[in-house]
Amino acid sequence: MPKVHFLDVTNRDGVQTARTGLSKFGKTMVNFYLAKLGVAQSEIGFPFLFHEVPYVRAQVALAEAGAFGELRLSGWCRGVPQDVEKAAPLGLRHYNLSISTSDYMIQNKFRGRLDRDAIIREMTAAVRVAKDAGALTVGVNAEDGSRTDDGFLLEFALAAKQAGADRVRYCDTIGGDTPDRIRERFAKLAAATAMPVETHCHNDLGMAVANSVSGALGDLDAGQDAWINTCVNGVGERSGNADLLSTILAFRHGFGLEAAEIGDALDLEWARRFGLWASYALGQPLPYNQVGVGRNAFAHESGIHADGALKDHGNYELYDEATLGPFPDDWHARPGRVVLTGEYGGKAGFRHVMDGLGVEVADEEASFRLVQLCNAMTGRPLTDDELRLIAAYPRELSLMFPGYE
């Protein structure tokens, strides 16, 4: 039976959000939380960019050391051989290669530099480079796929498959698709290619989650696995991407979706910690009505609702809030007298905090210096989960700071 999988793109599309930012250590924590949540794959960034190289090396080392469990790490490259050639030495085994496919972008973005034949040539060459370098899976992204006609979309996908690609990503780049249309297009494309079609939906019309669910159902209609792109808290360019938690909850609790089987071993006990950490790290306050993790997600005030919820929360709540795990209660957020550890802290404060958290520090000197470096990188107090990761994997994390020793 075909299954639904989640491929989170917070560390690629999410970090491209305007007026925000995330440090390389913050991106590492995204991978940590995605692993705890049980998501299948994280698109960790741009391995062909020079400033991502130390970060990517650290992620590969952390994965090999077991820090990310079963989470698969993938790199995003443009669909040209040169990007993949730069990325290949870093050791990633999963890729998504992206190139525009719509006539609109061919005319108004490429402006004569590439035509349809050239797009397929570049893309297939990039796929072959990735596979020859040892990639286990390659997804090919049809940027602006929702404005690409059916004929060329099929030609593009079949060429990618013949070159060795494992999936094609249908990008609703400008967020204009609608649920009925995207389900039909996914079903036709997945059936014609006999390969999964990834959803990548933007929220410009407020339908990114609905479109992602519908696109995935089109895959299932065609007997193919579904791969859904998401971002934590729905962050992303312009109005954002499909929200990770909302999409998971839709498949768990949405009426009529009972037959859709999730193929990832999800653990929503980490949902609140991830959502609230991301808000803190990105500097983006959560809306009160944010699904699952917003301040009002389980709040009741009006008389009828309050009375019903007091009798049985199921009267007015679709799912139990306890399934989303506890709210974080971090050391740095304690009121009153508190000793912290960070960029300018000393050994006494470091030991005090680690002892207070009950954290076993295997390499005190390396962990202490990493606390200073990571705090300098983030510019904000480190959270309990961040401190625990530093204490557990100082050698691997040190790869983000070449020459720091």
This prediction has a pTM of 0.97
Contact 100, 143 (CB under 8 A): yes
53 domain residue, yes or no: yes
Q: According to the model, what pLDDT value does residue 404 have?
A: 76
224, part of any domain = yes
352 and 260 in a common domain? no
> Is 244 inside a domain boundary?
yes
Q: List, for residues 330-345, the tens digit of each pLDDT value.
A: 999 999 999 999 999 9
Of 228, 256, 271, the last residue of a domain is 271
Q: Are 178 and 262 within one domain?
A: yes
d(CA 81, CA 59): 23
Choose one of 232, 254, 271: the last residue of a domain: 271
Structural domain of residue 89, as residue ranges?
3-271
Instruction: Check whether residue 266 and residue 348 sit in a common domain.
Output: no
CA 206 to the chain's CA centroid: 19
Separation of alpha carbons 341 and 351, rounded Å: 9
**What whole-number distance in Å separates Cα of residue 283 and Cα of residue 67?**
25
Q: Alpha-carbon distance 246 to 198, whole Å? A: 17
Same domain assignment for residues 256 and 342: no
Q: Do residues 92 and 234 both lie within one domain?
A: yes
- The answer to whether position 385 is within a domain reads yes
Confidence (pLDDT) at 362: 85
Cα dihedral 370→374→375→377 (10° resolution): 140
Please calculate the CA angle 401-402-405 and round it to the nearest 5 degrees.
Answer: 85
Q: Domain end: 203, 236, 271, which one?
A: 271
CA distance linking residue 56 with residue 34, whole number of Å: 16
Provide the pLDDT for residue 258. Answer: 87
According to DSSP, the residues that pair with 227 across neighbouring strands are 5, 198
Which CATH number fits the domain that encloses residue 142? 3.20.20.70
pLDDT of residue 259: 86
Which regions in the chain score pLDDT beneath 70?
405
Residue 356: which residues within 8 A CB-CB, separation 6 or more?
A: 331
> How many separate domains does the chain show?
2
User: Would you state the pLDDT for residue 405?
Assistant: 57
Residues in the chain: 405
